Structure 1
Amino acid sequence: MPVIEYKPGSAFPGVIGRTTDASRPAWPEPPRAVPGSPNVLLIVLDDTGYGQFGCYGSPMQTPSLDGLAAGGLLYNNMHTTALCSPSRSCIITGRNHHANGMAAVAEMATGYPGYNGNIPFENGFLPEMLLQHGYNTYMLGKWHLMASEQESAAGPYDRWPLGRGFERFYGFLGGDTNQWHPDLVYDNHQVEPPASPEKGYHLTTDLADKAMAFIADAKQVAPDKPFFMDFSTGATHAPHHVPREWADRYRGQFDDGWDAYRETTFAKQRRLGVVPPDAVLSRHDPDVPAWDSLSPDARRLAARMMEVYAGFLSHTDHEIGRLLEFLKEIGELDNTLIMVVSDNGASPEGGVTGTTNEAQFYNNAPEPLQDSLEAIDELGSPTMFNHYPWGWTWAGNTPFRRWKRETYRGGASDPFLVHWPLGFKARGEVRTQYAHLVDMVPTVLDVLGIEPPETINGVTQSPLHGVSFAHTFDDGAAPTRHHTQYFEILGHRAIDHDGWRAVCPWPGPSFAEADQPFGTPITTDRLSELDAHHWELYHVDEDFAETRDIAADHRDKLIEMVTLWYVEAGKYNVLPIDGSTLARMMTERPQITKERTSYTFRAGTQTLPASVVPRVLNRPHSITAEVEIPDGGAEGVLISQGTRAGGWSLYIRNNKLRYAHNYVGRVLNTVSSTEPLTAGRHELRFEFEPTGEPDLAAGKGAQGRAELYIDRRLVGAADFPVTTPIMFNPGGLTCGADPGPSVTPEYESPFRFTGTVHTVTIDLSGELITDAESEMRMHLARQ
Structure 2
Amino acid sequence: MTEKFKGKIAETFDGSEPWWPERSRGKSPNIITVVFDDTGWSDFGCYGSEIRTPTIDALAAKGLRYTNFHVTPLCSPTRACLMTGKNHHRVGMRCLADTDTGFPNGRGSIPQDTPLLPAMLRDRGYGAYMIGKWHLTPAHEITPAGPFSNWPVARGFDRYYGFLGGCTDHYAPELCQDNHSIDPPLDDGYHLTEDLCDRAIHYLRDHASCRGDEPVYLNICFGATHAPIQVERRYIDPYVEVFEKGWDTVRENRLARQKTLGLVPENTELAPRNPEVPAWDTLSDDQKTVYTRLQSAFAGFLEHADEQLGRVVAELERLGMREDSIIVVISDNGASREGGDHGAVDTNAPYSGRPETVEEMMAKLDDVGGPAGPAHYPQGWATAGNTPFRRYKQYVELGGVRSPLVVNWPAGIANPGEVRDQFLHVVDLAPTLLSLSGEVMETDFDGEDFSATFADATASTRNVQYWEMFGRRAVYADGWKAIATHEKGEAYEQDEWTLYDTSEDFSETRDLAGKNPEQLERLRAIWSEQAAANEVWPLDDRTLVDIIKFRQPNGLMARDEITLYPGQGHLAQVSMVTASERSMEITAHFSKPVGADHPGGVLVASGDRNGGYAFYIKDGNLHFEHVRLGDRVTLSAPSDEPVHRCSVVIHVADDHSASAILFANRKRLGQRCIPLVSTHLSFWGLDVGRDAGIPVSDAYTAPFPFPDTELDRVVMRFYESITAEEIAMVLEAAE
Same fold, judged at TM 0.5 (above) = yes
Determine if contact 1:304/1:376 at 8 Å carries over to the other structure.
yes
Which residue is 2:85 aligned to? 94
**C-alpha offsets along residues 77-98 of structure 1, whole Å, 9 cap, x if unaligned?**
1100010000001111111111
Match of 2:634 in 1: 670
C-alpha distance in 2, partners of 1:718/1:185? Answer: 37
1: CA distance between counterparts of 2:24 and 2:66? 29
Deviation at 1:595, TM superposition (A): 5.3
User: What does 1:438-587 correspond to in 2, within 5 Å?
Assistant: 438-452=427-441, 463-479=444-460, 481-507=461-487, 520-521=488-489, 526-530=491-495, 534-581=496-543, 582-587=545-550
SS in 2 for 1:352: coil
Deviation at 1:414, TM superposition (A): 0.9
Q: Does 2:693 correspond to 1:693? A: no
Alignment of 1:625 onto 2:614: no
1:583, CA displacement in angstroms?
Answer: 3.6
TM-score normalised by length of structure 2: 0.94
**Residues 254 and 303 in structure 1, CA contact (< 8 A), matched pair in contact too:** yes
Q: Distance in 2 between matches of 1:33 and 1:656?
A: 68
294, 310, 321: which one pairs with 1:321? 310
In structure 2, the CA distance between the partners of 1:14 and 1:757, relative to structure 1 (3 Å rule), is same
2:74 corresponds to which residue? Answer: 83
Between the aligned partners of 1:606 and 1:299, the Cα distance in structure 2 is: 44
Q: 1:146 aligns with which of 126, 137, 145?
A: 137
Q: Contact (CA 8 Å) 2:181, 2:569: kept in 1 or not?
A: yes
Distance in 2, Cα, partners of 1:410 & 1:234: 20
How far apart are residue 495 of structure 1 and its match?
0.8
Structure 2: gaps of 5 or more residues? none
Tell me, yes or no, if the aligned pair for 1:46 and 1:234 is still in contact at 8 Å.
Answer: yes
The residue matched to 1:340 in structure 2 has which SS?
strand
Change (3 A) 1:616 1:265: closer
State the 1:121 CA deviation. 2.3
Q: Choose the corresponding residue for 2:696, options 730, 737, 743.
A: 743
- Residue 34 of structure 1 deviates from its aligned partner by 5.2
Separation in structure 2 between the aligned mates of residue 414 and residue 124 of structure 1, nearest angstrom: 25
Aligned residue identity for 2:623:
R
| Aligned match of 1:25 | 18
Offset from partner CA, 1:300-334 (integer Å, 9 cap, x none): 11111111111110000000000001111111111
Q: How many positions carry a matched residue from both structures? A: 724
Identify the match of residue 752 of structure 1 among 680, 705, 712: 705
CA contact 2:246–2:292 (8 Å) conserved in 1: yes
Question: Out of 177, 183, 186, which is 2:177 matched to?
Answer: 186
Return the offset for 1:13.
1.8
- Shift in CA distance, 772/250, structure 1 to aligned 2, threshold 3 Å: closer
**Residues 196-275 of structure 1: matches in 2 within 5 Å?**
196=187, 198=188, 200-275=189-264
What is the DSSP-based 3-state SS (H/G/I as helix, E as strand, rest coil) of the residue aligned with 1:650?
A: strand
Deviation at 1:260, TM superposition (A): 1.0
Relative to structure 2, which stretch is displaced further, 105-114 or 52-61?
105-114
Quick one: structure 1 residues 243 and 731, their matched pair in 2 at CA, closer, same or farther if it must change by over 3 Å? closer
Rounded to whole Å, the distance in 2 between the matches of 1:749 and 1:588 is 32
Q: Is the 8 A contact 1:614 1:762 kept in 2?
A: no
1:448-478 CA distances to partner (integer Å, 9 max, x unpaired)? 233336xxxxxxxx61110111000011122
Quick one: distance in 1 between partners of 2:568 and 2:224? 29
Change (3 A) 1:771 1:176: closer
- Secondary structure in 2 aligned to 1:770? helix
Query: After TM superposition, where is structure 1 displaced by more than 6 Å over at least 4 residues in a row?
Result: 771-774
- Equivalent residue for 1:367? 356
Contact 1:72 1:427 in 2 (8 A): yes
Q: Which residue in the other structure is 2:62 paired with?
A: 71
Q: Identify the range of structure 1 (624-633 vs 301-310) with the bigger mean alpha-carbon deviation.
A: 624-633
1:381 corresponds, among 362, 370, 375, to 370
Distance (Å, rounded) in 1 between the aligned partners of 2:499 and 2:404? 24
Q: What's the offset of the Cα at 1:616?
A: 6.7
Contact 1:655 1:677 in 2 (8 A): no
Cα deviation for residue 208 of structure 1 reads 0.7
Distance 1:163 1:602 in 2: 27
Equivalent residue, structure 2, for 1:698 = none
- Contact 1:599–1:614 (Cα < 8 Å) also in 2: no
Deviation for aligned residue 1:291 = 1.1
In the TM superposition, what is the alpha-carbon distance from 1:729 to its structure 2 partner? Answer: 4.4
Shift of residue 100 of structure 1? 1.4
One-letter code of the match for 2:692? Answer: P
| CA RMSD, 1 decimal | 2.2
Residue type of the partner of 1:614?
V
Q: Counterparts in 2 of 1:267-346, with a 5 A limit?
A: 267-346=256-335
Which residue among 37, 40, 46 is the counterpart of 1:49? 40
CA distance in 1, matches of 2:83, 2:373: 32
State the distance in 1 between where 2:307 and 2:281 align: 34
Contact 1:626 1:681 in 2 (8 A): no
Contact 2:666–2:731 at 8 Å: present in 1 too? no
Measure, in 1, the Cα distance between the counterparts of 2:664 and 2:79. 49
Relative to structure 1, the CA distance from residue 155 to residue 493 in structure 2 (aligned partners, 3 Å threshold; closer, same or farther) is same
Q: Which residue of 1 aligns with 2:687?
A: 734
Distance 1:560 1:425, change over 3 A: same
Deviation of 1:211 (Å) = 0.6
Distance 1:396 1:595 in 2: 39
**Do the aligned residues in 2 keep the contact of 1:33 with 1:133 (CA within 8 Å)?**
no
Q: Distance in 2 between matches of 1:603 and 1:545?
A: 56
549-558 vs 746-755, which moves further: 746-755
Shift of 1:147: 1.0
Residue 670 (structure 2) pairs with residue 716 (structure 1): yes
Aligned: 1:641 with 2:606: yes
* Structure 2 residue aligned with 1:597: 560
In the aligned structure 1, how far is the partner of 2:183 from the partner of 2:556? Answer: 27
What is the Cα deviation at residue 659 of structure 1? 1.6
Could you tell me which amino acid in structure 1 is paired with residue 659 of structure 2?
R
Encode CA deviations 1:576-626: one digit per residue, 9 max, x unaligned. 111102443343434258954221112222111234353774543211112
Residues 80 and 413 of structure 1 are in contact (CA less than 8 Å); yes or no, is this contact kept in structure 2? yes
Shift of 1:630: 6.6
Change beyond 3 A, Cα 1:616–1:389: closer
For structure 1, which segment, 592-601 or 558-567, has the greater mean C-alpha deviation from structure 2 after superposition? 592-601
Cα deviation code 1:140-160 (max 9, x no counterpart): 000001211111122111111
C-alpha deviations, 1:225-277, integer Å up to 9, x for none? 11001011111111111112111222321111111110111110100011111
Cα 1:289–1:593, aligned 2, differ >3 Å: closer, same or farther? Answer: closer
Is 1:166 the counterpart of 2:136? The answer is: no
1:398-447 Cα shifts (integer Å, max 9, x gaps): 11111101010011001110000101211111110111000001111122
Matched residue of 2:306: which SS? Answer: helix
Aligned residue for 1:689, secondary structure, equals strand
| Residues in 1 aligned to 2:79 and 2:565: alpha-carbon distance in whole angstroms | 35
Amino acid at match of 1:23: S
Q: Give the whole-Å Cα distance in 2 for the aligned partners of 1:773 and 1:193.
A: 40
Q: CA deviation at 1:505?
A: 1.8
- Identical columns (%): 38
Distance in 1, Cα, partners of 2:703 & 2:249: 44
Distance 1:168 1:344, change over 3 A: same
Match of 1:117 in 2: 108
- Give the match for residue 4 of structure 1: none
Mapped to 2, the partners of 1:89 and 1:354 lie a distance apart of 29
Asked if structure 2 preserves the Cα contact closer than 8 Å seen for 1:485 and 1:495, the reply is yes
